[in-house]
Amino acid sequence: MDYIDKYGRMHDKPVMIKEVMPSNNAWIYSAYFVKAGGYLDKTKLQQAFDLSIHKREDGKVFTTRHPGGLHTRVPQSRDELLGMAYLGFLKPKHLNGWDFSPYPLPKFNLLTFFKQAYEVYNKHRNYFWQNNLGQIYHIAFSVPLQDRAFMLECWGETKTFRYFFYKSIANIDKFFTKPKNGVQWLKYGGEDRKAIMKTEFNVNHPIRNL
pLDDT along the chain (210 residues), means of 10: 91 84 91 95 96 93 86 82 98 95 95 96 92 95 96 95 95 83 90 85 90
Alpha helices in 51-144 (DSSP H): 78-86, 110-120, 127-130, 134-140
Query: Does residue 3 lie within any of the structural domains?
Result: no
In terms of pTM, does the model score above 0.75? yes
Query: Does residue 129 lie within any of the structural domains?
Result: no
Query: Does residue 173 lie within any of the structural domains?
Result: yes
Query: Does residue 198 lie within any of the structural domains?
Result: yes
**pLDDT on residue 36:** 92
Query: Does residue 41 lie within any of the structural domains?
Result: yes
Number of neighbours of residue 192 by Cβ within 10 angstroms: 13
Q: What is d(CA 132, CA 141) in angstroms, rounded to the nearest whole number? A: 13
Number of compact structural domains in the chain: 1
**pLDDT on residue 195:** 87
Q: What is d(CA 69, CA 74) in angstroms, rounded to the nearest whole number? A: 9
**pLDDT on residue 180:** 78
- Could you tell me if 188 and 180 are in contact, meaning their C-beta atoms sit under 8 angstroms apart? yes
Helix H or strand E segment including 200? helix 193-200
Q: What is d(CA 108, CA 208) in angstroms, rounded to the nearest whole number? A: 45
Question: For the chain, how big is the Rg over CA atoms in Å?
Answer: 18
**pLDDT on residue 170:** 95
**pLDDT on residue 72:** 58
Query: Does residue 91 lie within any of the structural domains?
Result: yes
Query: Does residue 19 lie within any of the structural domains?
Result: no
The b-or-e profile of 73-88 (16+ CB within 10 A means b, else e) is eebbbbbbbbbbbbbe
The whole domain housing 40 covers 26-105+141-209
Q: What is d(CA 23, CA 3) in angstroms, rounded to the nearest whole number? A: 11
Residue 57 CB burial class (10 angstroms; 0-12, 13-18, ≥19):
exposed
**pLDDT on residue 155:** 96
Query: Does residue 152 lie within any of the structural domains?
Result: yes
Residue-wise pLDDT for 97-110, tens only, equals 999 999 999 999 99
**pLDDT on residue 179:** 67
Q: What is d(CA 40, CA 58) in angstroms, rounded to the nearest whole number? A: 35
